[in-house]
Structure 1
Amino acid sequence: MRLHIPLTGLITGFLVIHVFFMWMEISSCNSIQEELAAPDSSRMPEKPGPQVQSRAIGADSLQLDTVLYNQILQHLVNNHPTAKWPVRTDYPLPGAILPFKRIVAYYGNLYSAGMGILGALPADEMLQQLQKEADRWQQADTVLPVQPALHYIAVTAQRAPGAGAKYRLRMPDKEIDKVLALAKSINAIVFLDIQVGHSTLQEEIPPLEKYLSMPDVHLGIDPEYSMKNGEVPCSTIGTFDAADVNFAVDYLAGLVRRLQLPPKILVVHRFTQGMITNYKMIRTVPEVQIVMNMDGFGGPAKKLDSYKGWITNQPVQFTGFKLFYKNDIATGGHLMTPTEVLQLYPRPVYIQYQ
C-alpha cells in the first residue's frame, strides 16, 4: 500500500500495515501539493488450437489471426487448460495487442522518485534500463514479442483534500506530453493511471479523453486509492466494484467504436480480495482487453499466494504481475526473474516494474 506522509515539497512517505494472516504491503505514496507550481521536468471456441509456434505479430493488423490467438492462450496456460483458464471471451477487434505481445512497463510519476522507476532515473537512463528489461523478457519467452510501455500515474491520490476536497491531484498536460514523447522515442505504448481518492472514475476518466483517443494510449485504474468509505487515501486499502470497472470498460469501448481505434487495454490493480468486489460481473467486450494486475510486494511466496488467490482463482481475462526494484527486496524477498514469473499459472502478459 502506498502511503502519503507530508514533509516539504514533493514527498514520498512509507508506513507499515500489519494484517494478521493476510497480505502485508508497504509502498510509497506521493504527496504532491496542488498549490505547488508544476516544475519542468465472434466467440472463442471451447478448445483452443495446438501449441503456438514462435512468430512476431504487429498490433496494426486489419484482420485478427484467431488461430494464433487460440495458440497463444494455450501457451499462456502452458498447454494445461482448466475450467477457468484460458478465459472464454469474444475475440477482440483487429489490432489487439494482447495476447500477441507481452507488455513490459515502467511505472511511476515524473515528480517523484519514490513512486516508481519511471520517475526515479534520468529519462535516458530509465529508457535504456527499460529496453534491457524488455530484452530479458524476450530471451525468457521467445514466443511472445515484447512491447515496452510507460505506465504514468496521471491522477495521484493525496493525503490532503486539495481543491474540491477530492484528495487527488491531476497531472498537468505538459507532464503527460513529456511521457508521450519519451514513449515515442523507443516505440513504447503509454498507460495513464488513475488514483481517484474521494473522486470517481466518472469524474476522472473524461478529462483524459484527448489522450485516450490516441491509438497507443491505454488506461490503468487503482482501487487501492478509491476511498468509498470517506477515509483519507492510504490510511486503508480502497475498493472498486465491478460497476466501476464496467464504467471504464464502457467508456473505452465507446472511444474505440466512435474513433475506429484498435482495442484499448485496461489495467486493474489488485492484491487483496476487497479491492475488487463482484468480479464475476465485470464485462468483457471486443473493444477492451482487461488485465488484472497483481501489484503487491514482498517475498516471492507472498506475491505468489496473492496472484493465485485474487488473480488465478478469480479470472477476468488477462493477467499482470508487478515487480518492485526496492520493496520486494526490502521486505525480505528478492526481485523475481522473468523465468520465475513465467512459472505462474496463467503466465502474465503484462509485467510492471515500480
Structure 2
Amino acid sequence: MSRYRLVGYCGLPGAAALGRLGTGDLNQRVKEIEKTARDYAADREPLPVLELLATVTNSSAGSDGTYRTRVPDDTIRRFHDAARRHEALLLLNIQPGRASALDEVKALRKWLVKPDVGIALDPEWDMGPGEVPGDTYGHTSGQELTDVARYLSGIVEEHDLPEKPLVFHQVAVSVVRDQSALRQQPGVVMIKSADGIGSPGMKRDTWRQLVRDQPEGLRTGFKLFYEEDAETSRLMTPKEVLALRPRPEYVMFE
C-alpha cells in the first residue's frame, strides 16, 4: 500500500445525503474519482477507492434489535464490478449499530477473499447496550480494531492475497478508546481517517488531536465533505491536505 495514495468517494445508492456514490451514473463517478485522485497523488501512485456503505445504521431497532441493515449482495457485486473495470479498490463500510463490528465483517467474507476489497469501520455508529444511533456517539476500542485486523490477516494469509486496508473513521478522540491496545497484523494496513467537519482551521485542529500519540505503524487518512465543509467555510485544497503531517495516505470525499 505504501506506493499508493488512496482517494475515493463514499455512499449508498439512493441515499444522496450519505455521499457522492449515492447518486448519478456509477461509472461516471469512478471517472471523477480517477481525475480527483491525480490531484492528490504527489509522491505516490493514485489509487481510486469506492467506499460503499455495506452495513448501514438505522434509527429504529428492527426485528433483530441491531439498529442496522445490510445491503444486498447485488449492490456489492455492482460496485465490485465497477471497481474491477477501473482498477480501483472497493472498501466495504460498516456502521454496526448494536451488532458486533467483527460479526458484520465476517458476514462479508465472500467479498473479502477478493484481492481488491477491504474494510472501513464507522465506530461513531458502533452502539453499546441501551444506546441509540443519532442520540450519542458510538465508540470502539483498540482491542476491537485489533480483532478485526487479525481476522482480515487470516484471510490474507489463507488466500495469499495482497495487503488489505482496514480504515476506521474517527470524528473525535472519544470514538476510539484505549488506542494503545492497537496491534498491527501481517498483511493488513490500518488507517485512521480524521472525520471532522468545518473550516480548514477547525479540521486541522481535529487532525492534530487525532494524530497525537499515534501507535507505531498506524497510517492516516482525511475526510472532506463537499457540502458540510462548504456550508461553514470552504473545501480544503489538495495542497492544504497534502501539507498535513503525517501526510494522509487516504483522502475520502462525502
Pick the aligned partner of 2:238 from 306, 317, 338.
338
Change (3 A) 1:310 1:229: farther
Matched residues in 2 for 1:117 and 1:315: separation?
32
Aligned partner letter, 1:326: E
Partner of 1:125: 28
Aligned counterpart, 1:76:
none
- Greater percentage in helix: 2
- How many angstroms apart in 1 are the aligned matches of 2:185 and 2:154? 11
Residue 108 (str. 1) matches residue 11 (str. 2): yes
Task: Pick one of 188, 210, 217 that aligns with 2:117.
Answer: 217
How many Å separate the matches in 1 of 2:129 and 2:199? 30
After TM superposition, list the pairs within 5 Å mapping 1:224-235 onto structure 2.
Answer: 224-235=124-135
Please, which of 44, 54, 67 is the counterpart of residue 144 of structure 1? Answer: 44
Q: Which residue of 1 aligns with 2:165?
A: 265
Q: What is the CA-CA distance between 1:243 and the residue it aligns to?
A: 1.6
More strand by share: 2
Q: Report deviation, 1:242.
A: 1.1
SS at match of 1:228: coil
1:312-335 per-position Cα deviation (integer Å, ceiling 9, x unaligned)? 4434510000011111011x1211
Does the 8 Å contact 2:101/2:126 carry over to 1? no
What is the aligned residue count?
253
Could you tell me which of 97, 101, 104 is aligned with 1:197? 97
| 4+ aligned runs moved over 4 Å, structure 1 | none
CA distance in 1, matches of 2:69, 2:132: 14
Tell whether the 8 Å contact from 2:30 to 2:48 is kept in structure 1 after alignment: no
Report the AA paired with residue 192 of structure 2: M
* Cα distance in 2, alignment partners of residues 164 and 179 from structure 1: 27
Contact 1:189–1:217, Cα closer than 8 Å, also in 2: yes
Aligned amino acid, residue 205 of structure 1: V
Q: For each residue in 1:32-51, what CA deviation from the matched residue of structure 2 results, as whole angstroms up to 9, or x when unmatched?
A: xxxxxxxxxxxxxxxxxxxx
Report deviation, 1:106: 0.9
- TM-score normalised according to structure 2 size: 0.96
Unaligned runs of 5+ in 2: none
**CA RMSD after TM alignment:** 1.2
Matches of 1:218 and 1:302 in 2, distance apart?
A: 29
1:304 corresponds to:
204
Matched residues in 2 for 1:184 and 1:259: separation? Answer: 19
Provide, for residues 244-294 of structure 1, a one-character-per-residue CA deviation record: whole Å limited to 9, x for no partner. 101111110110111111121100110211100110110012221100000
* Partner SS, residue 37 of structure 2: helix
- Asked whether 1:351 is paired with 2:254, we answer no
Match of 1:188 in 2: 88
**What is the CA deviation profile of residues 63-101 of structure 1, one whole-angstrom value per residue up to 9, with x for unaligned ones?**
xxxxxxxxxxxxxxxxxxxxxxxxxxxxxxxxxx2x211
Q: Distance in 2 between matches of 1:181 and 1:144?
A: 25
Q: Which amino acid aligns with 2:78?
A: K
Deviation at 1:128, TM superposition (A): 2.3
Which deviates more, 234-243 or 128-137?
128-137
Per the normalisation by structure 1, the TM-score is 0.69
CA distance in 2, matches of 1:160, 1:278: 29
Q: 1:324 aligns with which of 225, 230, 237?
A: 225
CA contact (8 A) 2:194 2:221 kept: yes
Cα pair 1:153 1:193 within 8 Å, conserved: yes
**Cα distance, 1:112 vs structure 2:** 0.7
Separation in 1, partners of 2:244, 2:129: 34
Amino acid at match of 1:125: Q
Larger Rg, first or second structure (1 or 2) = 1
CA contact (8 A) 1:197 1:225 kept: yes
- Contact kept, 8 Å, 1:241 with 1:277, in 2: the verdict is yes
Structure 2 counterpart of 1:12: none
Structure 1, unpaired ranges of 5+: 1-96
Deviation at 1:229, TM superposition (A): 4.5
Q: How far off is 1:165 after superposition?
A: 1.0
Residue identity opposite 1:107 in structure 2: C
What is the Cα deviation at residue 336 of structure 1? 0.7
> Counterpart in 2 of 1:31?
none
SS in structure 1 of the partner of residue 158 of structure 2: helix
Q: Quick one: distance in 2 between partners of 1:245 and 1:161?
A: 24
Change (3 A) 1:200 1:348: same
